[in-house]
Structure 1
Amino acid sequence: MERVTLPDGQLHPLFEVLASPLGLIVRGLSDLLSPLVAHSALIMLTADPSGGRIQCCGDPTVQRGVRGLDLDQLRSKIGGVEGVHGTTLRVGDARRPAIQVVARNGALLVLTDPGPVADLDPLLDIWNIVALHVQERADEAAPDYLRHARSTAGLRLQVLSEIKDEYSATLDSILVPLRSGQLSDASARDAAIARSAAGLKRLRGMTEQAHTVAAESVTLAFARLKEELWSAARSWHVELEFIEPPEGDHLIPDDVARGARAVVHRFILSRMQRSEISRVRVQWSCDGTDLIVKVRDDGDGGTADAETLLQSVQQRIHALRGQLAVNSTSGWGAELSAVLPLEPPLVRPSTAAIAGLRPREMQVANLLASGSRNRAIAEELGISENTVKFHISRILHKLQAGSRAEAIATLLTEQQT
């Protein structure tokens, strides 16, 4: 096992960072790393159970101007290889010097306007520890989070597609009269055509990028699973056999990849607790439509084992709209087979709107649906009635409801489906 290098006095601050709520990790990490390398802002690109992928603290200009697509493109340029790299980051219309740190699990850390770095090893070690911690929190997320993540992923792609179509139609409509030759200033016409064409090309490129931001290749996802299992196998004393995905580097959504890895972990841990196993075979395959996960061991097996295994993984599989089969035969071990669809589910407008409510709006909405009046809601949440009215106004707008009663009907309908 590699030795982690931490400067003197940083072990306790690191513990404090890991013990923080996920939303506060970014600020604590910035304070922890400041003695190692000065920076104007710190950005994390990870997956976490709160559903957020990008967290940033520091320079407000960076917080407002950084884009997820640019961060993902930054990481893609170096192929997600672990290490520390100097680079530049586009912030609004400008480029800022930066350091990007890529963890073993592919999580990206960016420090803008960095000062000199005397030793890169502690920087990389600290980020590996924090990134793994955040990933484990995501892997242990409740099935409701996975279901929400799949829904919002589908909604995001749907909205991006609609924006692309709308802007494409707008720009195309501009190009038609410009190309008709009716303008007297040929130079202006040519320049406008060139700019419009460039805008279309950029918009289409951004849409294609957006489809891959929340995805990774099945071979990379499987490689990460192997690395995690090899590391755990040192304490499990289990022989691992891996059957690689066949050729064809299909992209799979990151929530599906995380869910599949968590299922494999849970399967093995559950079996280790109930049966003496010495060998486990793990196999993934992907046809571009589904991710197929198979795990088999050489334990004792039996009906009781099958029921225990179902209980340990079925909620996670069902949250991802997957199909699950578990077979456990006495003397032949246990086998799990799961099929996880890659395409996110279609989202009804009301479902999408509710998923888009902010946490405080969701609290107000739940109390609203239960029949509480404004004063009762204000007392329950410790806010003013004017604030309650403001939240209800936003809820009505997001649900496209014309009245309080219509909003309540929508909320109750969604709760019953």
Structure 2
Amino acid sequence: MTLSETPPDPVAPDSVARGLVSDHARDMAEVLDRQAVVLESVLAALRSRRLDDRAARVEATDIAASALVSLRTGSDRRQDELLEPVVSAFARLQSDLRPLVRFGDLDVQFVQPPSTGRALPGDVAHAARAIVRNAVLTLVDAGDAQRVRIQWDCDGLNLLIGIRDDGAGELTVHDDVLRPIAEQVTSLDGDLAVSSTTGWGSELSVRLPLDPPAAAEPWDLIESLSAREREVLRRVATGDRNHDIARTLGISDNTVKFHVSNLLRKLGARSRTELATLASAP
């Protein structure tokens, strides 16, 4: 090889492959999140007191069939390079939740964002929908709220999400039921705040930057993790929950949450599924 020749870059193929692995993990997390809403919607139709048995079966079948078509056509695939108008992004959220709202016992009120709001990057739009879907499912599971109000706004630099219910008013930002939401918000360098009043309900306030910092190459950063962070990462990769990790490592649940939050931020991951994928990738 002469001096004018450029040697091949052995890192580039691995970098591309690892990027594909990360993209696949995010797509899978999105599919699982959407299907959870579909299953809750099917159950809501089957349990609805407003439908007789035949009508309930028809509605449940329609919901499942529509979800299957959406899954096969990839209608909600990640489009990182595209911008999505905030009104359109909000409309897709309403469409996702429509069957659950129609047949469930939870009264969901949507406050439309201003049409002049800045368009959302694809990642932010997907994360925002996932955050709201997770919050609604959490409220459905809790069963103590009758109404929830969902509001989006945009200040030019951030997407602002407000979710308020009329439940028991006992939620805190450290509750395990909010962990998936907290992890998604952290991964996008955003903020999550929870305000609760006993007997009056809780309000989740989320700020998602519209221009999040570019994610660093996670595999290069794994070597910079502390020994304890690597231990937590290995446990996350095996599917252990926070309580199990805390018991195994002899630390508190809150310490585990702190380490997981740091891992998401340092490795540019957006969920525990992505962390597990990154930890097991070659």
Higher alpha-carbon Rg: 1
TM-score (normalised: structure 2): 0.49
TM-score (normalised: structure 1): 0.35
Q: Per chain length, whose mean CA-contact separation is higher, i.e. which structure has more relative contact order (CA < 8 Å, sep 6+)?
A: 2
